[in-house]
Amino acid sequence: MPAPERPALERPAPSAVELDRRAFRRRQGGRSIAVSIGSTIVFAVLIGVGLVNSPGWADVQRSFFDLETAVEAFPSVIEGLWLNIQVLFFAAIGVAVLGSLLAIARTLRGPIFTPLRFAAAIYTDLFRGIPLLLVLYLVGFGLPGLDLFGRVPAQVWGTIALILTYSAYVSEVLRAGIEAVHPSQRLASRSLGLGYAKTLRLVVLPQAVRRVTPALMNDFVSMQKDVGLISVLGAVDAIRAAQIEVAASYNFTPYVLAGILFIALSWPMIRLTDWYTARAQRREQIGGSV
Amino acid sequence: MSEQQAAPVLRIDGVHKWFGDTPVLRGIDIEVAQHEVVVLIGASGSGKSTLLKTINLLEPVDDGRIFLGETDITDPRVDADRIRGRIGVVFQHYNLFPHMHVLDNVTLASRKVFGVKRAVAEQRGRELLERIGLADKARDYPDRLSGGQQQRVAIARAIATDPEVLLLDEITSALDPQLVGEVLDLVRELKAGGSTMLMATHEMSFARRVADRVIFLKDGRIVESGTPQQIFDAPREPETREFLARLQDPLA
């Protein structure tokens, strides 16, 4: 029972035993930091020395890590990356919507929904099976060939292809999350008078998404890279821009540059989700040192 | 109390524990002799559960020492897993592994911590299940069992490796009243078999029947300790009297 009028308590001075334990832990901590720094340095030096001393290093350095070429290619590659970011933005929204709908369709119960369940199952089987590159070709060159649509830029077709493929993956991840939520949660929610849809939206999905956030992030980062594949449709994205620069300069550095930019693009998102999941875990679960 | 043994199985010596700025344990001293059953009582938040967690090294202490036999288990140099292997724990919510059937739950530690052969471990496991009256449930999964049955399995899992001391943390709090009896009968049987136990409970009638010694905790301190007769029938401290009165009539 809390007793608010109780005066704040002072921590007593630690005993000799406790001071000794703390000193030991500090030494252990110091030692493990020293070991980790030491081993990292040794590792980095070994790789660096091995690389620089390899016979072809001078050639590789010239054609892959040339600062001048990188600076020259930077404006066009970064402009291409902006297109990637736009495509990624719309594709992520599309995947979130279509993926959730598919996942829900697959978890619906009741005989009326059989065709829907069935259609969703076929869809996910199909689009997880086809290589993304094929989907890109079929959507990017096949659909415009129908002459039903006016002039649509290649990146729009690319976005659609990405949505089609990634929704299939994401829906399966979400479905696993939905099914991992304990049935007692549904019971508790329904007993409050919340209907099927509200139970799904307010109780089941939030828990499901939290459980599969790492897997979803995996798919997101994977899509972030696959956005570069829209270059096969002729859209001038970062990869395509780099390719053009490579062709002009006979130097592969623009590719390396594009690679670094893609990493820079995904890194904040990865850190953000790590931080978010750690926080949610701290908030909802009691700790313990094991 | 029985006459003093040479060395207590468990000796808690001036243990302090803080959660941030809140003191949870403020200098706890307890000795548990072999074959002794010591029961901790006290309101929620009095520090009972935290004390049990520090003994199992699930929470580090902020001061003081805990000895298991001769070993100072709060020494950071000791192998915590090895110490935990010498202690049995039963939790309030059973904490059985839902993906293993009952027999695997019971034999897991023998097989994977102590390297006992599966056949030997399973024979011992079946004997234990026989003893707790659940021999026919060996191949069932925990979620198929009633709460009382699950808790009995959890007790069997805790004693399967013959721990030096058994820690029981509110083991009947999650059970229906009519299921409490079967679990408590099992604990009495363990006491008759000579197990050394330290338990936290809200079940006063049970504490009275099974305890050799009752310790009343309040705000992280031991207020009073003594035989069940003394604590329940003639409490010395006003705080103990108030606690017991409130239990008898929660609306008082």
Q: Which of A2, A18, A289 sits opposite B63 (nearest CB)?
A: A18
pLDDT at A1: 46
8 Å CB contact of B59 and A289: yes
**pLDDT tens for each residue of B54-73:** 999 988 999 999 999 999 99
Enumerate residues 79 to 108 of chain B having a beta carbon within 8 A of any beta carbon in chain A.
80
Q: Does A21 touch chain B (CB under 8 A)?
A: yes
From chain B, pick out residues whose CB is under 8 angstroms from the CB of A288: 53, 58-59
pLDDT at B6: 61
Quick one: which of B70, B95, B98, B73 has its CA closest to B83? Answer: B73
- pLDDT class for A257, splitting at 50, 70, 90? very high
Q: Does A7 touch chain B (CB under 8 A)?
A: no
pLDDT at A289: 53
pLDDT at B1: 45
Burial class of residue A204, CB neighbours in 10 A (0-12, 13-18, 19+):
buried
Q: A134 φ, ψ to 5°?
A: -65, -40
Q: Does B239 touch chain A (CB under 8 A)?
A: no
CATH 1.20.1260.10 fits domain A79-237: no
Residue B205 belongs to a domain with what CATH number? 3.40.50.300
Any domain includes B115: yes
Bigger pLDDT: B138 vs A213: B138
Q: Does B58 touch chain A (CB under 8 A)?
A: yes
**pLDDT tens for each residue of A195-212:** 888 999 999 999 998 889
Which pTM was predicted? Answer: 0.76
Any domain includes B4: no
Domain map of chain A by residue range?
Answer: 79-237
Distance from CA of A181 to the nearest CA of B (A): 14
Q: Which residue of A has its CA nearest to B57?
A: A289
**pLDDT tens for each residue of A260-279:** 999 898 888 888 888 887 88
| Distance (Å, whole) CA A54 – CA A56 | 6
What's the total number of domains in chain B? 1
Residues of chain B with pLDDT under 50: 1-3
Domain interval for residue B138: 10-248
Contact in structure between A260 and A64 (CB atoms under 8 Å): no
- pLDDT class for A7, splitting at 50, 70, 90? low
From chain A, pick out residues whose CB is under 8 angstroms from the CB of B26: 9
Q: How many CA atoms lie within 13 A of A190 on its CB side?
A: 8
In total, the C-beta contacts within 8 angstroms joining chain A to chain B are 40
Q: What percent of chain A has pLDDT over 90?
A: 58
8 Å CB contact of A289 and B43: no
| Distance (Å, whole) CA B126 – CA B133 | 10
8 Å CB contact of A21 and B74: yes
| Distance (Å, whole) CA A213 – CA A227 | 21
Helix (H), strand (E) at residue B108: helix B102-112
Q: Which residue of A has its CA nearest to B62?
A: A18
